[in-house]
Amino acid sequence: MEKMRSTTILAVRRNGQTALGGDGQVTLGSVVMKADAKKIRRLHGGKVAVGFAGASADAFALLERFEAKLKDFQGNVPRAATELAKDWRMDRNLRRLEAMMIAVDKESLLLVSGTGDVIQPTDGLAAIGSGGSYALAAARALVAHTTLGAAEIVRAALSIAADLCIYTNRNLEVETVE
């Protein structure tokens, strides 16, 4: 079976604002299967935004578990992510999930990996997915050389990633958390 490739998710925190965005492309081998997938979700009454990458069913399973952890820990994103990562590492079925996510709220920006890592980047930038490294490089350059806000940087960096990564398109979705 061909490997499904999809998604570029980017988060940027700048000047008290956090933006999280993603493209809409889902690819199976060399075929675009869907161009308008929604990979950014609002959780916990809209206070938390999550972007996910990976196998679709696995990403949704991860998202559901994270949402349950948010409820368990009254919307505390770092605690919910840490508890999810613990479960992910210890549960045999969860360990098989091929997915990653970025979760943001007004205070936190965290990357949760499939290996059970919870990473809070020091520079306020995080990216995952097929075009993640392109988007991250573009965002770093834009942060260093422009005065653009977080949402504008996310849009511009995702557009640059779409120019470089064949698994990324320009059907962008960007959410902000202030």
Q: Which helix or strand (DSSP H or E) is residue 159 part of?
A: helix 150-164
Cα Rg of the chain, angstroms: 15
The Cβ of residue 63 has, within 10 Å, a number of other Cβ atoms equal to 19
170: left (phi over 0), alpha (psi -120 to 50) or beta: alpha
Is 122 catalytic? The answer is no
CB 152 within 8 A of CB 10: no
Q: Catalogue the E-assigned strands of the chain.
A: 4-6, 8-14, 17-22, 26-28, 31-34, 40-43, 48-54, 99-104, 109-112, 118-119, 125-129, 173-177
DSSP 41: E
Give the catalytic positions in this structure.
7
